[in-house]
């Protein structure tokens, strides 16, 4: 047994004895053994722990040694890592530089590739366009892509002029683009000619009805129109001028586009024009076409239909309308050729007016009423404008001829000057010659509100037809030149250019007033001055009321040449003896002495008409007033005062006034229908009479007051005083004249007096 086992056995024996002890004495006996046993037991545990500590120390020493070795290895590894890091950073820097160089090289390579991309296609495209049968692939998508490539190359060369070969390549690319677009043009024109030849052959082969003809002329051309339109668009896109080009500059390839237009138009004209010629000839042969307006309506309607069809077909072949209206005008030339001779041969103004009205109302575009023209719709007014200008020119020519023949050169017949018989109500023996005014009559002629165009002719046939019967009554007994002038103005109003109308209207009004003035002079010599003056007044008022409806604003300068200076120069040279001296002639040429002087007179018919109205009114009132007061002496200084001569003159004047007033009113009622006008003239005559008497009375008072009295003269009769045969003062005479003339103007809105039927004439001793 080992020592440990012995100890254990002793311990167990001691413990057994201790357990068997019964008394404390037994325990005490065993105390020494117990202490020894306990000591031996503790020593073993401590020894065991010490051994463990030694073992742990030995282990820790081993760990420390291993750790120190590990730390030494780690230090070596750290040093190695630092070296590697340094090397890595150096490599990274070198790699970054390499990558930067690579990026630069890639950029340069890409730029070179991009630049070369615009240089490389040259040879390939050149071979393709110059190859035999190059036009075969014009309709393919590859051809369209090739044109796009050429555009890009040309644009690149234009924007990179700093490159060495840019200008050379640009020129070559432009030649290739021109070559390609020429192929497009040739293909387009070949397609049009092929279709035209096919249609023309089928038309010539047999007689076709309208439906079959339309199918051939239009349906056949619509079959390949979409494809041809895209081909034409390739040229049109490149025919537009640059954005920075000056206005009016054409694109480089516009000539090719024009060739497409002209080729298509020529092919269409080859098919359409013979049909149009034939159809217009058939229309011209119809009985209804003998009339100018009917022929114009039928022929223009047919040609317009053809133009509409061609307009729609053009839209299917082309983008835009450049060159279209030139083609349509060629179609309309046949219409012009038929219409123009008929217009030139037409002498009836009514037909010309109807034709112009037809063209203006049906075919012209009015921007004020219809708004701006739609560019996608046919503007037929452009095509019909030449026919309208021909008609307007002929209309103006005929109007001038009527003005010259029937107004300016008019020679009146005896019945035309038979006034006052031709007035509406001539005076008769049974008419009471009372100084009282007659009942108010409505004027037979209301003022013209608006001019109207009528269908009857104005110089050659029939009578003029008015919308209202009263207008016919008004012109029934008027002087022929006036009725013709009014009819002529109504005819051409709004049918010609406003400036042309104004110019012609001024001439018409001027010649009419001259004609009326000449007729007035003849009536004055045949009947009486009052009849001539009232004739002129009546017709001038009627003319003024009629032209109010026309906007006559434009006044033309009447230019003439004054040769009086030239004639006087010749006479002066002859007197001086230098007529055949070259130096005198050279001096005259240099100074302008041999040039006529240009004289401009502004012709304003309205002003002229107003001036003639004022003149005839003044002449009429002054003539009647002078006739009523002819017994009053004009020069009181030389007048005799014996046997109550002056008093008898005043008395005779009063009787004359009383006798002439009914005649005055009867004359005015013969010629003038408007009561206000008549009463105004009566009032003007009254004022003239009172003014003349006032002048006489002032002279009478002056002569009476020079000596304080006048031998043989009666005292002045004041109001309510003195004998009836005495010389009346001004207020007395004025009051008497007012009651005798009995002027009563009709009520008007502008009157501000409470009793418009009376005229207050307050006279003083002096005017």
pLDDT of residue 472: 56
Give me 228's structure tokens.
């041809």
| Pairing mode of beta strands 597-603, 556-562 | antiparallel
Closest to 608 measured CA to CA, from 480, 500, 506:
506
What whole-number distance in Å separates Cα of residue 243 and Cα of residue 247?
10
Token pair 């004009």 is found at: 634
pLDDT of residue 133: 78
Helix H or strand E encompassing 598: strand 597-603
Q: Tell me the backbone φ, ψ of residue 264, rounded to 5 degrees.
A: -65, -45
Buried b (16+ CB within 10 A) or exposed e, 738-765: beebbbbbeeeeeeeeeeeeebebebee
pLDDT of residue 340: 93
Is-contact 641 710, C-beta < 8 A? yes
What whole-number distance in Å separates Cα of residue 193 and Cα of residue 182?
16
Please give the torsion angle defined by the CA atoms of residues 533, 538, 544 and 547, in that order, rounded to the nearest 10 degrees.
-130
pLDDT of residue 66: 92
Neighbours of 452 (CB within 10 A): 14
Neighbours of 453 (CB within 10 A): 15
Q: Tell me the backbone φ, ψ of residue 601, rounded to 5 degrees.
A: -120, 120
The contacts of residue 501 (CB under 8 Å, 6+ apart) are: 492, 493, 494, 495, 550, 552
Token pair 């063209």 is found at: 359
Neighbours of 185 (CB within 10 A): 22
What whole-number distance in Å separates Cα of residue 412 and Cα of residue 520?
11
Give the chain's residues under pLDDT 70: 1-8, 10-12, 14-15, 17-18, 20-21, 26, 29, 33, 41, 207, 210, 245, 248, 367-371, 424-476, 551-604, 636-643, 705-725, 746-767
- Taking CA atoms, 528 is separated from 361, 412, 522, in Å, by 50, 18, 10
Q: What is the length of the chain?
A: 767
- Taking CA atoms, 31 is separated from 7, 17, 39, 334, in Å, by 17, 11, 12, 165
Q: What angle do CA 744, 750, 754 make, to 5 degrees?
A: 55
What whole-number distance in Å separates Cα of residue 704 and Cα of residue 124?
128
Helix H or strand E encompassing 596: none
Reported in sequence order, the residue ranges of 267-350 that DSSP labels E, i.e. its strands, are none
pLDDT of residue 440: 42
């Amino acid at each position: 047994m080992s020592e440990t086992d012995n100890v254990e056995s002793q311990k167990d024996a001691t413990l057994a004895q201790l357990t068997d002890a019964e008394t404390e004495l037994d325990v005490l006996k065993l105390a020494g053994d117990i202490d020894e046993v306990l000591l031996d037991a503790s020593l073993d545990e401590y020894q065991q722990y010490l051994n463990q500590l030694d073992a742990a120390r030995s282990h820790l020493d081993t760990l420390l040694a291993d750790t120190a070795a590990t730390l030494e290895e780690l230090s070596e590894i750290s040093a190695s890592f630092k070296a590697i890091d340094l090397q890595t950073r150096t490599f990274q820097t070198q790699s970054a530089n390499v990558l930067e160089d690579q990026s630069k090289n890639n950029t340069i390579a890409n730029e070179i590739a991009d630049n070369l991309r615009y240089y490389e296609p040259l040879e390939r495209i050149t071979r393709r366009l110059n190859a035999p049968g190059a036009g075969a692939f014009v309709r393919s998508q590859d051809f369209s892509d090739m044109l796009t490539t050429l555009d890009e190359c040309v644009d690149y060369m234009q924007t990179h002029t700093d490159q060495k070969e840019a200008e050379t390549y640009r020129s070559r690319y432009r030649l290739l683009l021109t070559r390609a677009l020429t192929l497009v043009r040739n293909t387009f024109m070949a397609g049009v000619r092929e279709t035209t030849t096919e249609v023309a052959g089928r038309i010539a082969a047999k007689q076709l009805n309208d439906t079959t003809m339309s199918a051939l002329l239009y349906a056949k051309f619509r079959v390949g129109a979409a494809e041809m339109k895209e081909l034409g668009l390739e040229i049109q896109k490149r025919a537009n001028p640059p954005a920075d080009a000056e206005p009016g500059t054409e694109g480089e390839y516009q000539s090719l586009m024009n060739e497409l237009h002209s080729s298509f138009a020529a092919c269409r004209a080859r098919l359409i024009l013979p049909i149009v010629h034939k159809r217009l000839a058939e229309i011209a042969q119809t009985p209804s076409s003998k009339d100018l307006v009917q022929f114009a309506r039928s022929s223009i309607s047919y040609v317009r239909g053809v133009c509409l069809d061609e307009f729609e077909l053009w839209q299917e072949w082309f983008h835009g309308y450049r060159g279209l209206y030139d083609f349509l005008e060629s179609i309309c030339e046949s219409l012009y050729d038929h219409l123009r001779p008929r217009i030139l041969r037409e002498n009836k103004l009514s037909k010309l007016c109807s034709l112009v009205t037809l063209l203006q109302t049906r075919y012209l575009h009015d921007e004020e009423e219809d708004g701006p023209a739609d560019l996608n719709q046919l503007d037929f007014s452009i095509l019909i404008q030449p026919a309208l200008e021909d008609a307007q020119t002929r209309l103006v020519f005929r109007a001038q001829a009527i003005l010259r023949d029937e107004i300016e050169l008019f020679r009146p017949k005896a019945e035309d000057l038979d006034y006052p018989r031709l007035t509406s109500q001539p005076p008769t023996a049974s008419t009471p010659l009372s100084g009282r005014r007659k009942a108010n009559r409505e004027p037979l002629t209301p003022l013209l509100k608006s001019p109207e165009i009528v269908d009857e002719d104005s110089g050659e046939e029939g009578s003029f037809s008015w919308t209202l019967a009263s207008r016919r009554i008004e012109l029934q007994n008027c002087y022929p030149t006036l009725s013709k002038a009014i009819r002529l103005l109504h005819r051409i109003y709004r049918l010609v250019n406003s400036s042309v109308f104004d110019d012609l209207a001024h001439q018409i009004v001027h010649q009419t007033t001259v004609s009326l003035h000449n007729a007035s002079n003849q009536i004055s010599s045949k009947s009486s001055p009052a009849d001539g003056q009232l004739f002129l007044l009546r017709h001038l008022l009627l003319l003024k009321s009629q032209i109010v409806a026309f906007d006559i604003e434009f006044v033309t300068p009447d230019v003439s040449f004054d040769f009086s200076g030239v004639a006087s120069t010749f006479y002066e040279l002859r007197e001086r003896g230098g007529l055949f001296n070259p130096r005198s002639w050279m001096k005259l040429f240099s100074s302008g002495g041999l040039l006529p002087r240009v004289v401009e007179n502004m012709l304003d018919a309205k002003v002229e008409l107003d001036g003639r109205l004022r003149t005839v009114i003044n002449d009429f009132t002054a003539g009647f007033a002078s006739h009523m007061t002819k017994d009053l002496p004009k020069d009181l200084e030389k007048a005799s005062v014996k046997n109550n001569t002056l008093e008898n003159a005043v008395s005779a004047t009063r009787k004359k006034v009383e006798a002439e007033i009914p005649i005055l009113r009867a004359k005015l009622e013969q010629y003038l229908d408007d009561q206000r006008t008549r009463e105004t003239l009566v009032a003007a005559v009254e004022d003239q009479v009172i003014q003349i008497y006032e002048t006489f009375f002032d002279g009478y008072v002056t002569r009476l007051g020079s000596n304080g009295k006048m031998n043989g003269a009666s005292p002045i009769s004041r109001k309510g005083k003195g004998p009836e045969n005495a010389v009346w003062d001004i207020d007395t005479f004025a009051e008497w004249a007012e009651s005798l003339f009995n002027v009563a103007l009709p009520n008007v809105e502008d009157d501000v007096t409470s009793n418009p039927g009376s005229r207050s004439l307050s006279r003083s001793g002096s005017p």
